[in-house]
């Protein structure tokens, strides 16, 4: 896909340089409300666990659920989310041209995206790490033990770059087998063509969980790279970033306080603390500063669920992938995610 | 020049057998090659049949473990996900609409293939009604049908629509470009040549990307239109640039006398072109034209880069889930079969047209 990326980037740069539009505060929310839908990116095939299509052609996955949560915060109705299929390369031009209102597409916050492309980030909703999986029978404890062996990587991706720079930095000699298509990289590793397989963490977890014998694979502790996945908006609309941040925060706050889509009505009827009362809209003040209704957070949790519910049905125990939360757990469970304070 | 031996008339079985023996078992080495090739073919066929039929799993409810245990193809993925492959993310409850829309497209294509339909009025009527029917079915918004935006179109109807619209818009443009390139006014001919060569020197991918993403930055709001139609404009332009050169090639194969005779008869320009030169140019350019159609059909799959879930992308979408990730070969085989059906049909129709036109040619 390298040539594709190059062409695309060239065009993207061409399109963006003179026109980097900066949205004024509140403009995006007004435009979205006037349109009646929130436009989010889907995928042009599927990105396992983050944006995929079920048997009835309905989008699902972590990124999609976050979009639905934000839609519910604005409209009180998740079905107002309009998922537009776009390719990775199209994310930024589509955001700048207004085809989509926010990028929630397993995309990391980077310096060049912030500085050169004129974008703005929310807090991180997922920590994506690049890791290495190995055949368990090799008995590897870390990537150092794999010296002299081979590693399968998807060709011309950031993973390939990360692997070679990590190997160089650690002084490990390995044969890098770069293969074009993700399915084939995985098939090559599974068939024993390579000793190890480097990829984005969720991809590895999914590959292992779907293999014939999940116990035959170990995830090595080496973290080759870390990328915090964020929601990305056009620069200049502070209110819009606030809404993204507070939507995420509401999902995490509900999880922290044990509020789920099932018990939310009981809790709202009898809130244990003043903060939770305010959070659920039992007392006023939650929405005004953001330009939303006071019960927006209640609607989100009621109709979409809290972060844990979303995660479990997209990637966790309720999905085909059975991924653990790990770093993506709440701070009190040993993870790095946290809600902002409702006061 | 040596004349090719004339094809023998129908041979009776005995002679046919003797010929077979001469051609394939003429010498020990030849016999060995024949047997070895036969063996390989039979082995491959046997393996394929085992994989695709005997050891295959067909039930939509089968899991990965059951498929792996059976050892053959896992057609369960098709049974469970065929609606995603055929219709992409088109709303599930409305999918009877794209089914009918596909039938409409297939219907108008088949109708226009019939020689008795070949008059401008009949074709225009068929295509006008067909296009309206397709659009109403797919987009909705009237007759009580709910609106389904172009961005939710997907799968086979989208592929067919892009192909047909590209060809229908691109062909007249191609004729126009070919005529302009042959114009006697040097400025027109030269400029058209530059335009054609410029378009041909760009990859289709970048043209599609420009029309989908970059053009909206340059046009005033009311001209932007839906992304799908912009992309089709780009594809049609690309198609026209190549097809124009194919038609020009056809023109160059016509003896000068034809044009001169038509002029001597006092026919005006448009009649000379439409009645005398273009029909002959098309006949000469037919094999290359069919080729161009086939390529255009294949290239519809490139629209995936600008965010349309065409047939191939819908196939990708179908197998990329936790449950079916392992079964991509089956999905690709299924999609390939659909492409094959259309492209093979197109090529056979091309062969039929050639035979039909050459029949007239030989009589001369």
pLDDT at B113 over 70: yes
Asked if residue A189 and residue A207 are part of one domain, the reply reads yes
pLDDT of B194-242, one tens digit each? Answer: 999 999 999 998 999 888 888 877 877 777 778 889 999 999 999 999 9
**Stretch A61-65: mean pLDDT:** 94
What value does the mean pLDDT take over residues A17-30?
63
A106 touches chain B (CB under 8 A): no
CB contact under 8 A, B307 and A86: yes
Dump pLDDT digits (tens) for B151-191.
888 889 999 999 989 988 999 999 999 999 988 899 999 99
Domain end point (choices A166, A200, A227): A227
Beta-carbon separation of A87 and B81 below 8 A = no
What pTM does this model have?
0.82
pLDDT bin (cut points 50, 70, 90) of residue B18 is confident
Residues in chain B within 8 Å Cβ distance of A58: 89, 92
Quickly state the pLDDT bin for A22 (edges 50, 70, 90): low
Band of the pLDDT at B350, cuts 50, 70, 90?
confident
Q: SS3 sequence, B315-328?
A: HHHHHCCCCCCCCH
Percentage of residues of chain B with pLDDT beyond 70: 95
pLDDT of residue B209: 87
Name the average pLDDT for chain A. Answer: 86
Query: Residue A4 and residue B305: Cβ atoms within 8 Å?
Result: yes
Neighbours of B111 (CB within 10 A): 15
Residue A4 predicted with pLDDT over 60: no
For residue A266, give how far its alpha carbon lies from the nearest alpha carbon of chain B (Å): 35
A24 pLDDT tier (thresholds 50, 70, 90): low
Range of the domain at A13: 2-106+237-333
Dihedral over alpha carbons A305, A309, A314, A316 (to 10 degrees): 180
Contacts of A55 in chain B (CB under 8 A): 80-81, 83-84
Report pLDDT for A7: 47
Cβ partners under 8 Å of residue B83, min gap 6: A55, A56, A57, B92, B95
Pick from A44, A99, A212: CB nearest B304: A44
Chain B nearest-CA distance from A173, in A, is 31
User: Are A252 and A221 found together in one domain?
Assistant: no
Helices (H), chain A: 2-16, 27-35, 62-75, 91-97, 111-115, 158-170, 182-190, 201-210, 238-256, 264-269, 274-279, 296-303, 307-314
Q: What is the pLDDT of residue B11?
A: 57
Residue A93's pLDDT band, with cuts at 50, 70 and 90, is confident
**Residue A218: helix, strand or coil by DSSP?**
strand
What is the mean pLDDT of the segment spanning A10-19?
A: 45
Domain boundary among A166, A201, A227: A227
* pLDDT at B295 exceeding the cut of 80: yes
Q: Are residues A216 and A257 in the same domain?
A: no
Mean of the pLDDT values across residues B248-259? 89
Q: Is the pLDDT of residue A214 over 70?
A: yes
Which CATH number covers residue A141? Answer: 3.40.190.10
A161-170, B101-110, B310-319, B352-361: the lowest-pLDDT one:
B352-361
> Cβ of A52 and B320 within 8 Å?
yes
Question: How crowded is residue A118: how many other Cβ atoms within 10 Å of its Cβ?
Answer: 19
pLDDT of res. B356: 82
Co-location of A178 and A262 in the same domain: no
Residue A262 lies in a domain: yes
pLDDT digits (tens, 9 = 90+) for A138-157: 888 888 888 889 999 988 77
The pLDDT of residue B91: 84
| Most trustworthy range by pLDDT among A8-12, A243-247, B25-29, B123-127 | A243-247
B chain contacts of residue A8, beta-carbon cutoff 8 Å: 209, 305
The answer, yes or no, to whether residue A1 has pLDDT greater than 50, is no
Whole-number pLDDT of residue B359: 61
In terms of domains, do A220 and A147 share one? yes
Testing the interface with A: which of B66, B94, B321 to mutate, by most A Cβ within 10 A?
Answer: B321
Mark whether A218 and A250 lie in a shared domain. Answer: no
Position A9 confidence tier, pLDDT thresholds 50, 70, 90: very low
Residue B8: predicted pLDDT: 55
Residues B351-360: what's their mean pLDDT? 78
Q: B323-352 burial string, b = 16+ CB within 10 Å, else e?
A: bbbbbbebbeebbeebbeebeeebeeebee
Q: What is the pLDDT of residue B360?
A: 56
Which residue has better confidence, B50 or A312? Answer: A312
**What pLDDT is attached to residue A8?**
47
Tell me whether residue A117 is in a domain: no
Same domain, A136 and A280: no
Q: For B12, phi and psi rounded to 5 degrees?
A: -70, 160
> Which residues on A lie below 8 Å from B309 (Cβ)?
44-45, 85
Banded pLDDT at A244 (limits 50, 70, 90) = very high
Task: Please indicate whether, in this complex, the C-beta atoms of A183 and B91 are within 8 angstroms of each other.
Answer: no
Quote the minimal CA–CA distance from B319 to chain A in Å: 9
Domain identity same for A13 and A87? yes
Contacting residues of A for B81, CB less than 8 Å apart = 55
Quick one: closest CA in A to B206, which residue?
A7
Tokens encoding A71: 């839609």
How confident is the model over A286-324, as pLDDT tens digits? Answer: 888 899 999 999 999 999 999 999 999 998 888 888 888
Chain B residue with Cα closest to A60:
B321
- Picking from A204, A227, A250, the residue at the C-terminal end of a domain is A227
- Specify the number of domains making up chain A: 2
Structure tokens at B40: 């390989």
Residue A73: pLDDT over 60: yes
Are A18 and A166 in a shared domain?
A: no
A85 and A167 in a single domain? The answer is: no
* Antiparallel, parallel or unpaired: β A225-234 and A175-179: unpaired
A204 plus A244 within the same structural domain: no
Task: Measure the CA–CA gap between B198 and B210, rounded to whole angstroms.
Answer: 14
- Interface contact flag, A58 B92, Cβ < 8 Å: yes
- Give me the pLDDT at residue B2, please: 54
Domain boundaries, chain B: 75-90+148-363
Asked whether residue A165 is assigned to any structural domain, the reply reads yes
Asked whether the predicted pLDDT for residue A14 surpasses 80, the reply is: no
Same domain, A6 and A99: yes
Residues of B in contact with A47 (CB under 8 A): 320
Q: What is the pLDDT of residue B233?
A: 92
pLDDT tens-place string over residues A264-292: 999 999 889 999 999 998 888 888 889 99
Q: Which CATH number fits domain B75-90+148-363: 3.40.605.10, 3.40.190.10, 3.40.1390.10, 1.10.3720.10?
A: 1.10.3720.10
- The pLDDT of residue B7: 56
Under 8 Å CB pairs connecting chains A and B tally to 116
The average pLDDT across B93-104 equals 88
- Give pLDDT, residue A99: 84
**How far is Cα A211 from Cα B322, in angstroms, rounded to an integer?**
11
Percent of all residues in chain A with a pLDDT value above 70, rounded to a whole number: 92
Per the model's pLDDT, the better-predicted residue between A242 and B72 turns out to be A242
**Mean pLDDT, chain B, as a whole number?**
85
Residues A97/A103/A109/A110 CA torsion (nearest 10 deg): -30
In the structure, what pLDDT confidence band is assigned to residue A13 with cuts at 50, 70 and 90?
A: very low
| Percentage of residues in chain B having pLDDT higher than 90 | 26
Instruction: Work out the minimum CA distance from A230 to partner chain B, whole angstroms.
Output: 22
């Amino acid at each position: 896909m390298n040539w594709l990326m190059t062409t695309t980037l060239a065009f993207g740069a061409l399109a963006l340089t003179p026109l980097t539009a900066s949205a004024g505060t509140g403009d995006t929310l007004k435009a979205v409300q006037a349109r009646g839908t929130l436009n989010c990116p889907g995928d042009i095939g599927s990105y396992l666990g983050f944006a995929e299509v079920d048997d009835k052609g309905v989008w699902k996955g972590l990124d999609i659920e976050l979009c639905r949560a934000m839609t519910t915060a604005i409209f009180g109705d998740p079905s107002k989310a309009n998922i537009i299929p776009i390719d990775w390369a199209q994310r930024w031009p589509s955001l700048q041209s207004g085809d989509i209102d926010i990028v929630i597409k397993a995309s990391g916050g980077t310096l060049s995206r912030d500085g050169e492309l004129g974008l703005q980030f929310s807090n991180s909703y997922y920590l994506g790490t690049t890791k290495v999986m190995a055949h368990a029978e090799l008995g590897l404890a870390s990537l150092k033990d794999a010296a002299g062996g081979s590693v399968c990587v998807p060709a011309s991706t950031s993973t390939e770059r990360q692997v070679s720079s990590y190997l160089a930095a650690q002084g490990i000699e390995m044969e890098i087998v770069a293969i074009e298509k993700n399915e084939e990289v995985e098939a090559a590793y599974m068939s024993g063509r390579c000793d190890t397989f480097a990829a984005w963490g969720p991809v590895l977890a999914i590959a292992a969980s779907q293999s014939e014998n999940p116990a035959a694979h170990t995830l090595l502790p080496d973290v080759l790279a870390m990328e915090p996945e964020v929601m990305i908006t056009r620069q200049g609309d502070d209110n819009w970033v606030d809404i993204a941040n507070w939507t995420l925060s509401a999902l995490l706050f509900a999880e922290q306080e044990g509020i789920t889509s099932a018990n939310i009505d009981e809790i709202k009827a009898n809130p244990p603390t003043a903060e939770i009362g305010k959070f659920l809209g039992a007392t006023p003040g939650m929405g005004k500063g953001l330009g939303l209704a006071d019960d927006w957070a209640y609607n989100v949790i009621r109709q979409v669920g809290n972060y844990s519910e979303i995660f479990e049905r997209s990637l966790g125990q309720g999905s085909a992938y059975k991924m653990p939360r790990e770093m993506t757990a709440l701070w009190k469970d040993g993870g790095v995610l946290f809600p902002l304070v409702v006061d | 020049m040596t004349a090719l031996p004339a094809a023998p008339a129908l041979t009776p079985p005995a002679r046919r057998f003797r010929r077979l023996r001469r051609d394939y078992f003429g010498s020990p080495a030849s016999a060995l090659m024949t047997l070895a090739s036969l063996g390989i073919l039979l082995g491959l066929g046997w393996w394929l049949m085992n994989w695709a039929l005997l050891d295959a799993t067909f039930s939509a409810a089968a899991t990965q473990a059951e498929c792996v245990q059976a050892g053959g193809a896992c057609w369960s993925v098709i049974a469970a996900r065929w609606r995603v492959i055929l219709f992409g993310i088109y709303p599930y409850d409305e999918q009877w609409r794209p089914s009918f829309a596909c039938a409409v497209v297939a219907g108008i294509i088949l109708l226009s293939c019939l020689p008795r339909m070949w008059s401008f009025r009949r074709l225009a009527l068929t295509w006008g009604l067909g296009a309206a029917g397709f659009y109403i079915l797919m987009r909705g918004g009237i007759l009580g049908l709910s609106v389904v935006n172009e961005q939710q179109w997907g799968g086979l109807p989208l592929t067919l629509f892009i192909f047909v619209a590209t060809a229908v818009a691109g062909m007249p443009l191609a004729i126009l470009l070919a005529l302009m390139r042959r114009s006697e006014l040097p400025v027109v001919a030269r400029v058209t040549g530059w335009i054609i060569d410029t378009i041909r020197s760009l990859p289709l991918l970048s043209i599609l990307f420009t029309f989908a993403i970059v053009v909206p930055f340059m046009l005033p709001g009311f001209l932007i239109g839906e992304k799908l139609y912009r992309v089709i404009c780009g594809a049609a332009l690309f198609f026209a640039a190549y097809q124009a050169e194919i038609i020009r090639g056809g023109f160059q194969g016509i003896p000068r006398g034809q044009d001169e005779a038509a002029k001597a008869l006092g026919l005006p320009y448009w009649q000379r072109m439409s009645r005398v030169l273009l029909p002959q140019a098309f006949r000469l350019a037919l094999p290359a034209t069919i080729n161009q159609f086939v390529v255009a059909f294949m290239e519809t799959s490139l629209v995936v880069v600008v965010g349309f879930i065409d047939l191939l992308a819908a196939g990708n979408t179908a197998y990329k889930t936790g449950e079916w990730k392992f079964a991509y070969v089956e999905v690709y085989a299924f999609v390939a079969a659909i492409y094959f059906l259309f492209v093979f049909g197109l090529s056979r129709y091309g062969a039929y047209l050639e035979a039909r036109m050459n029949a007239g040619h030989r009589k001369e």
